[in-house]
Amino acid sequence: MRLTKFGHACVRLEKDDRTLVIDPGAFSESSALTGADAVLITHEHFDHFNPDVLREAMADDPLLEVWTSRVVAENLADLGSRVHQVGHGDAVTAAGFELHVYGEDHEILHPDVPPIPNVGFLVDGEVFHPGDALTVPSEPVPTLCLPGNAPWMKVREFYDYARTVAPERAFIIHDGLLNENGIMVMESGLARAAQDRDPGVDYRRLKPGESVEL
């Protein structure tokens, strides 16, 4: 399987001539959806879900389907059976990829506002994309898409999450709000998280457009 990082929280997974795209939002390149067979959306925030771009891609390819949270599915309800609502505990197949769904809520953004739905996806038992939540799946996660920076996350939580999930590989996502200085600080923290885990693990930030073979 090949994993390619696109802008911010978007990743693209490819295997056996099939392509799965996760969270192509407003900070991601629209080219992430080119040739996609399936799209996963963790929640409705604009940096993860760009309805205009997604609708355009689905209009161009009538076979393209979406798996997503309740609110996003309701937003795309006019697309009928091409949109699939999933929730915590579901196990489904999308474009030949096996998906296990984990998590229910977005991390808290405001103490007086209830969290919105957020679903994380474990793909083929290999890659876990949590969306905007620090969900820990009940099964091993070889490769973690690790949120690097967010208004809802403390630095301590970044370390704790990496330590708790304990993946062999961790690739930073959710870094689109950082300038070069912030990226440098985040990468330093990532190196420390890797050292805490094991000096031999592969923890790093992929630049947009950069790929890795899993």
Q: What string of pLDDT tens digits covers the 214 residues of the chain?
A: 999 999 999 999 999 999 999 999 999 998 999 999 999 999 999 999 999 999 999 999 999 999 999 999 999 999 999 999 999 999 999 999 999 999 999 999 999 999 999 999 999 999 999 999 999 999 999 999 999 999 999 999 999 999 999 999 999 999 999 999 999 999 999 998 998 888 789 999 999 999 999 9
DSSP string, 73-91: HHHTGGGGGGEEE--TT-E
| pLDDT score, position 197 | 85
Task: Say what the pTM is.
Answer: 0.97
All domains of the chain in start order, with CATH: 2-107+120-213 (3.60.15.10)
Residue type, 140: P
| pLDDT score, position 177 | 95
Bridge partner list, 83: 66
In Å, how far from its chain's centre is CA 148?
12
Tokens of 106: 């977005």
DSSP string, 96-144: TEEEEEE--BPPPSSTTSPPPB--EEEETTTEEE--SS----SS--SEE
| pLDDT score, position 196 | 85
